[in-house]
């Protein structure tokens, strides 16, 4: 029964080539990414209303070093030496109007795609895999706390 106990986490393909975490092959080198609703209090009904909050605009080496505390270094090393484990972040998602949302702010789908080529801010990125479930959100308060800088 190991399969049912597995914490869901999708494979992440990312097209946001201007992000400091982005790596050739459309990989994300972050240790974890946070997927949020773009506007506080306006819960997503389409994919343009979602965003990858972990996006940081790449501004040369200083920016890369600045993001070093959120890097999946083990996955990065394994990707380089070809052990076969894909470089992939964990996904924390509070977009509970998505049909793939899973209790505990998890994402229960095999793979997601983050779009927003040439983005200069996180609002220009999207989780393109979002699909509206038609359900009411229970996460608005949590997002408001997160926007105020409280722990996510």
- Between the two ends of the chain, the Cα-to-Cα distance in Å is 31
Please tell me the number of Cα atoms within 13 Å of 2 on its side-chain side: 0
- With CB under 6 A as the rule, give the number of residues binding ligand SF4: 28
Tokens describing residue 83: 């052990």
Q: Is 49 in the site for ligand SF4 (CB under 6 A)?
A: no
Q: For residue 26, which of 139, 146, 136, 116 has the smallest C-alpha distance?
A: 116
The CA distance from 54 to 20, in Å, is 10
- Choose the binding region for ligand SF4 from 58-66, 80-88, 104-112, 143-151 (rule: CB under 6 A): 104-112
Specify whether the CB–CB gap between 56 and 67 falls below 8 A. yes
Contacts to ligand SF4 from residues 78-97, by CB under 6 A: 91, 93, 95
Among 9, 31, 37, 52, binds ligand SF4 (CB under 6 A): 52
Residues forming the site for ligand SF4 (CB under 6 A): 12, 14, 16, 19, 21-22, 28, 30, 33, 35, 50, 52, 54-55, 91, 93, 95, 98, 100-101, 107, 109, 112, 114, 125, 127, 129-130
């Amino acid at each position: 029964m190991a399969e049912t106990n597995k914490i869901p986490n999708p494979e992440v393909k990312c097209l946001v080539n201007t992000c400091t975490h982005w790596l050739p092959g459309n990989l994300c080198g972050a240790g974890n990414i946070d997927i949020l609703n773009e506007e506080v209090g306006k819960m997503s009904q389409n994919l343009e209303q979602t965003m990858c909050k972990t996006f940081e605009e790449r501004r040369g080496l200083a920016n890369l070093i600045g993001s070093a505390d959120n890097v999946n270094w083990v996955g990065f090393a394994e990707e380089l030496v070809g052990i076969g484990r894909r470089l992939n972040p964990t996904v924390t998602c509070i977009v509970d109007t998505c049909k793939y949302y899973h209790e505990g702010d998890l994402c229960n789908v095999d793979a997601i795609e983050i779009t927003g080529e040439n983005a200069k801010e996180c609002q220009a990125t999207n989780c393109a895999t979002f699909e509206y479930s038609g359900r009411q959100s229970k996460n608005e308060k949590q997002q408001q706390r997160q926007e105020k800088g409280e722990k996510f």
